[in-house]
Amino acid sequence: MDDIIKIFKESDALLEGHFKLTSGKHSDIYYEKFNILKKPRLCEKVCAELARMFEDNTVELVVGPTTGGLIIAYEVARYLGVDSIYAEPADNGNGRVLKRGFNIDKGTRVLIVDDILTTGRSIVEVIKLVNSYEANIVGIGEFLDRSGGQVKFDYPFKALTTIEANVWEPEECPLCKKGMPLTQRGSRNFKRV
C-alpha cells in the first residue's frame, strides 16, 4: 500500500522531534499509530489492505500484541472471516501470555499482526507464545516496517510499507548531544538511561 505514509501524514500520525522509542533507542521520527486506530474508517481501510496480503494463506486465527495489535488483529480477522485474540504482557514482565480464557489449538494456522516494526521485540514475544501452543504461524503482517527491512523472522513477513528511519542508541544520539528535549511515547515501561 503505497499511500500508508500519506495516511500517517494526513492523520497527524507522523511526528517529528526527539523521541525515546519502546526499544529505548532514540529517533527523530515517531509514528503514532493511535491517530490512525482512533479513526474507524481509516483503520478499517488499512487493516483490510493488510488482510488482503494474507488472503491466500488459509488463516484460522489472527493474534496481535496489546495494545495497538489488539485493534489491528480484530479488524484483520473481521476482514478474513476468522477469530482474533491478543497477547498481553506477562505479569512477571517476561514475554506475552494469553489471558481472558483465550487459547490456541494445536495446529491452528495463525497470522500475527502489529502496527510498527522497529526492533521486532513484541512480534518475537508473540511468536514464542504462539509456538508454545504448537500452532502454525502462516505469516506476520505490519502496517509499517521502520527497520528498513533489517529485522528478519523465520516466517513470511509482509508490511504495507518499509522505510528506513533514523534510530540511535541513547549514547550516540545527535539530538541528545544538541540538548534537544526528549519525548517518550508508547505504552511499555521504560528503563531510564
Structural domains in the chain, CATH included, are: 4-184 (3.40.50.2020)
Please check whether residue 101 is in contact with residue 149, taking contact to mean a CB–CB distance below 8 angstroms. Answer: no
Beta-carbon count within 10 A of 82 CB = 18
Tens of pLDDT, residues 38-49: 988 889 999 999
Stated pTM of the model: 0.86
The set of cell numbers assigned to 15 is 511526528
pLDDT at 191: 40
Rg of the chain taking only CA atoms, in angstroms: 17
Instruction: Say if residue 190's pLDDT is above 50.
Output: no
Residues in the chain: 193
Full DSSP string of 94-121: SSEE--TT----TT-EEEEEEEEESS-H
Contact 29/111 with Cβ under 8 angstroms? Answer: no
pLDDT, residue 33, reads 87
pLDDT over threshold 70, residue 192: no
Q: Is the pLDDT of residue 185 over 60?
A: yes
Q: Name the helix (H) or strand (E) containing 172.
A: none
Q: What is the rounded average pLDDT for all residues in the chain?
A: 90
Over residues 50-103, the pLDDT tens digits come to: 999 999 999 999 999 988 889 999 999 999 999 999 999 999 888 999 999 999
Place of cell 484483520: 76
